[in-house]
């Protein structure tokens, strides 16, 4: 370890350096504060402490302390001076000195004790900082792990629902990926796009509550069956709602704009998408008949994406439509079923959408 001695008295400087070397340190020296700063900067990585006089030419000890506190705030600095004593000691400590010794120094063991004390303090500060850094990193890793687990659970839940009428479960993945593309095209932030990618796959989670004879029926549903099918929006919202009671879960759907009491924004978004992805721009959708911008943007995005991918996918009760037919239906539904702005973003990004469909093909 290096210790820097800064003093304009050459004889004292040599004596101090020799004593420090006897203690096992590597001694560095400078005759004034300006030279001391240069030596400090060149050896900062290996510098354990500095001993500095106050009354020196070129740059005095006060000037050195001011600059050293800026450049090396955790470097132990011991002032060794014979001027003014009390007032100078107070001023030196205010400027960043860790301790103060007076000249003449009759017993060098006092210096050894002082150096040991300030270096131990520096070690404890360093270890505490490293502990805090490690603790923060551990908390960050644990938080990220919990977030990954939470998102994975949501993905697996959406896949469980999709297996009822799509064995691969790729429809929900495509909906999430394409929804994120449109969200980005419409100016949503990175976090909002990522949240939509993770939550959009849960839009049809309510299918779990629809009987198979309705969900998988070949051909057209009769009015009673259609009414049952429409309930999947409310079922999905309730599944993702409060766990306290069925009544509270149902009430949360009527009051869908209210936030989750525990502050889970992903759950809020997923619940809203499950409930509102069949609302229509012209107000003829379900379950509430919301119209225009009264429908949250994320739900308007998922409405377009879900319809497009459902049209283009084969199911037990229908054949896949050709792509041109799917695009024609989306275009013709702009301003009635769909938000024209979302449809415009969709057609600006058809190449990216095709890439997603190819990657996650059933």
Three-class SS state of 150? helix
Residues 268 and 347 occupy one common structural domain? yes
Q: Is residue 260 part of a domain?
A: yes
* Per-residue confidence band for 317, with pLDDT thresholds at 50, 70 and 90: low
Prediction pTM value: 0.62
Residues 98 and 169 occupy one common structural domain? no
Residues of the chain with pLDDT > 90: what percent?
A: 61
Compute the distance between CA of residue 75 and CA of residue 80 in angstroms, rounded to an integer: 16
* Per-residue confidence band for 172, with pLDDT thresholds at 50, 70 and 90: confident
Which residues 6+ apart lie within 8 Å of 189 measured at CB? Answer: none
Residues 94 and 167 occupy one common structural domain? no
* pLDDT (tens digit per residue) in 238-261: 988 887 888 888 888 888 888 766
Give residue 145's pLDDT.
80
Q: Is residue 236 part of a domain?
A: yes
CATH of residue 90's domain is: 3.40.50.2300
Which residues 6+ apart lie within 8 Å of 47 measured at CB? Answer: 1, 2, 3, 4, 28, 40, 72, 75
Residue 7: count other Cβ atoms within 10 Å of its Cβ: 27
330-355: b (≥16 Cβ within 10 Å) or e: beebbeebbbebbbebbeebeeebee
Look at the chain and report how many structural domains it folds into: 2
Q: Is residue 150 part of a domain?
A: no
Structure token pair of residue 221: 């549903």
Q: Is residue 249 part of a domain?
A: yes
Q: Is residue 155 part of a domain?
A: no
Residues 205 and 269 occupy one common structural domain? yes
Q: Nearest 5 degrees, angle CA 316-CA 321-CA 325?
A: 160
Lowest-pLDDT choice from 31-40, 93-102, 165-174, 264-273: 165-174
Residue 168 pLDDT more than 60? no
Residue 339 pLDDT more than 90? yes
Q: Is residue 209 part of a domain?
A: yes
Residue 165 pLDDT more than 70? no
Three-class SS state of 300? helix
Residues 355 and 268 occupy one common structural domain? yes
Domain coverage including residue 109:
2-131
């Amino acid at each position: 370890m290096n210790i820097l001695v800064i003093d304009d008295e050459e004889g004292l400087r040599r004596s101090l350096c020799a004593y420090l070397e006897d203690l096992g340190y590597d001694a560095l020296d400078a005759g004034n504060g300006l030279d001391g700063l240069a030596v400090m900067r060149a050896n900062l990585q290996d510098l354990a402490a500095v001993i500095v006089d106050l009354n020196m030419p070129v740059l005095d000890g006060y000037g050195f302390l001011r600059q050293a506190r800026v450049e090396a705030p955790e470097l132990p600095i011991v002032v060794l001076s014979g001027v003014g004593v009390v007032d100078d000691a107070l001023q030196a400590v205010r400027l960043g000195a860790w301790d103060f010794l007076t000249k003449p120094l009759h017993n060098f063991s006092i210096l050894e004790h002082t150096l040991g004390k300030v270096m131990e303090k520096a070690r404890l500060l360093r270890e505490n900082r490293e502990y805090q850094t490690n603790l923060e990193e551990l908390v960050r890793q644990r938080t990220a792990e919990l977030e990954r687990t939470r998102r994975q659970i949501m993905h697996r839940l959406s896949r469980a629902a999709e297996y009822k009428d799509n064995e691969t479960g790729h429809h929900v993945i495509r909906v999430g990926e394409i929804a994120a593309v449109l969200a980005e095209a419409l100016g949503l932030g990175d976090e909002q796009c990522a949240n939509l990618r993770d939550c959009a796959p849960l839009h049809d989670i309510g299918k779990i509550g629809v009987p198979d004879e309705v969900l998988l029926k070949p051909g057209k549903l009769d009015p009673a069956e259609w009414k049952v099918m429409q309930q999947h929006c409310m079922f999905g919202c309730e599944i993702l709602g409060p766990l306290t009671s069925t009544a509270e879960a149902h009430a949360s759907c009527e009051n869908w704009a209210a936030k989750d009491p525990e502050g889970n924004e992903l759950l809020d978004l997923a619940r809203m998408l499950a409930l509102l992805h069949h609302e229509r721009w012209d107000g003829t959708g379900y379950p509430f008949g919301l119209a225009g911008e009264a429908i949250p943007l994320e739900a308007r995005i998922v409405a377009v994406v879900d319809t497009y991918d459902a049209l283009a996918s084969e199911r037990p009760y229908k054949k896949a439509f050709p792509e041109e037919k799917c695009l024609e239906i989306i275009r013709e539904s702009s301003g009635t079923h769909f938000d024209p702005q979302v449809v415009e973003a969709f057609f600006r990004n058809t190449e990216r959408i095709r890439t997603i469909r190819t990657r996650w093909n059933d």
